[in-house]
Amino acid sequence: MCGIAGLISYERAPETGVLLGMRNALLHRGPDRQGLYMDEQAGLAHTRLSVVDLEHGGQPMYLRRSDEEYVLIYNGELYNTEELRRELLSAGFRFEGYSDTEVLLAAYAHWQSDCLQRLNGIFAFAVWEKHRKRLFLARDRIGVKPLYFTAKDGTLIFASELKAVLSVPGVTAKLDTDGIAELALLSPGRTPGKALLRGMEELKPAECAYFSRDDGLQKRSYWKLRAAEHHEDAAETAAHVRYMLKDAIERQLVSDVPVGTLLSGGLDSSIISSVADIYFTAQGKQLKTFSVTYKDQAKYFKTTKFQPNGDDEYIARMNRYLGAEHFDVVLDTADLAQALNAALEARDLPGMADVDSSLLLFCRQIKDEVTVALSGECADELFGGYPWYRDETIRSRAGLPWAQSTDYRFSFLRPEWREKIDPQAVVMEQYNAVLRDTDIMPDSSAEQKRIQEMVRLNTDLFMQTLLSRKDAMSMACALEVRVPFCDYRLAEYLYNVPWKIKELDGREKGLLRAAMTDFLPHEVLCRKKSPYPKTHNPAYLEAVRGLLYDILDDAKPPLLAIFDRAALEKLLRDAGRAQPWYGQLMTTPQTIAWFVQVNHWLKKYRVDFA
């Protein structure tokens, strides 16, 4: 993976110093090699994390074809590089190396924007057409790799991270009423295409755009989940899923640098680790697996409805089953709290508190051993693993299943902001926008219709929060994390699988269990879903309470420009009571830590109010 940034202006020539500043803001994403391209209208910057074809593949990459010269900067990985290469060779292209970057550039030169229909991978890239003086931008179908931008008065500024956009002189961080509403009611989630700050946008998943002098920025969507009849029975469906998932995992193991897997002992990560272990063993190599836990977790762990058991025994069972070299990463409570600000700066926006900071610390340790890791995101969204898929009361309720605390969140706003914001309207606008765009067969049953709506709500909204977290925390450590369950072919297929097959035998993710039975020990195969592990140590709650108390003791903390002091003090007094903030991942300790992050964000990024 890499970092990309660019500035296109038809009013004045981009300045080299500005592009260097943008590039420097992204050095953590690509510490191996840096590149720069400048002409009268365009400046493009790239930082490279070398993964495939270490000698070649430097960027920006150039290609002359017919009467055009193309300049590419690219962040991502293509998993069907060899198929594309063969097709392009037959069309007359020649290649100096074997990088996917070279193949992507040739694909764009040959097919133009239609190349997107042929790509299987995770990516955000930009192509400058030097003679047409036109820029093309694109993002992968699922939205694994980010691309932020701001466009105004004939100028487009874009980058892999907001910090690089904000590094440009004259670009400032401003919050208006809409941004405050999103911050208070949806964060760490966001409305697709928005980046919280006024004038800041994000290219949506499966969206591409052209930017030119005459037409400005013209965006379009090139893919979405489409409804179709499902003609296979349960056994055929399981066999189909097995083939597709195994193919997705194996394609994503290709690398010229060390590769490992994240192993929680849960169903999804264990499947990936098992397939990877078999693949590596056949090549005479040994897989490396990584797990995270917390100091004194066994002492303080408490069973809940959403987290019925701890990970340790299942990780140990998988270690005995695999032939992998395993690494346990143990995080300390104090470190989690201390890393909250670093996690905020990695994401550039208030995030998931210690759910973020723990992943950041985990990735730092992983990077010591591997440069690429595979992780299990997207399985629950596609296979219906979350509790709100199976709880009919929650499933049938209008609104966002993970945002059932709107009134509680709204109560923290200062009175002057509450007068300007309709909290239910903010949430329902996001909900209804997804439902309006959901493709459903006319004769679908009520159950199938609702499940497809739930899939779209989860892939378009909830999953994007998790993918943003994964990219930001891992790339802050120059670690490339791949997500096999995000293979678009798997998403397309599973979208139309009836619910009775997805919950085969009445079991949570029954289809996935049936498809991958031979890859896991029985105990792991049958394990109920357990979310990303959080610390249960009461010392963490006390640590973040202390941080927020310190903030409130300041003369004029930025936090109080948005949120009510009395409400925050009540939160600190009632901290022993568990209150959901964002699904099962964030409750009272994470809520307090989130406010700590918000204060740091407002101060660090000099956020002003518009």
Residue 152 corresponds to which amino acid? K
Measure the CA–CA gap between 91 and 406, rounded to whole angstroms. 56
User: Based on C-alpha coordinates, what's the Rg of the chain?
Assistant: 24
DSSP per-residue string spanning 206-272:
TEEEEEETTTEEEEEE------------HHHHHHHHHHHHHHHHHHTT--SS-EEEE--SSHHHHHH
Query: Cβ(480)–Cβ(488) under 8 Å?
Result: no
Measure the CA–CA gap between 122 and 138, rounded to whole angstroms. 11
Helix (H/G/I), strand (E/B), else coil: 320: helix
Measure the CA–CA gap between 376 and 369, rounded to whole angstroms. 19
Quick one: the chain helix, strand, coil %, rounded to 5?
45, 20, 35
DSSP code, position 170: T
Query: Cβ(194)–Cβ(186) under 8 Å?
Result: no
Q: Give the residue among 499, 455, 399 at the shortest CA–CA distance from 224.
A: 455
* Type and span of the H or E element at 7: strand 2-9
First to last CA, the chain: 35
CA angle at residue 110 from 106 to 112, to 5 degrees?
A: 100
Pick the catalytic residue from 2, 208, 477, 486: 2
Strands (E), 498-556: none
Q: Give the residue among 531, 541, 535, 537 at the shortest CA–CA distance from 577.
A: 541
DSSP code, position 153: T
* Type and span of the H or E element at 340: helix 340-347
Supply 281's token pair.
Answer: 């063993």
Supply 285's token pair.
Answer: 């190599």
- Is the link from the previous residue into 188 a cis peptide, with omega within 30 of 0? yes
Q: Give the residue among 313, 241, 290, 304 at the shortest CA–CA distance from 519.
A: 241
Instruction: Specify the length of the chain in residues.
Output: 610
**526 belongs to the catalytic site:** no
Task: Name the pairing type of β-strands 174-175 and 608-609.
Answer: parallel
Supply 357's token pair.
Answer: 């900071």
Query: Cβ(377)–Cβ(466) under 8 Å?
Result: yes
* Angle of the 488-495 helix axis to the 446-457 helix axis, nearest 10: 160
Give the active site residues.
Answer: 2
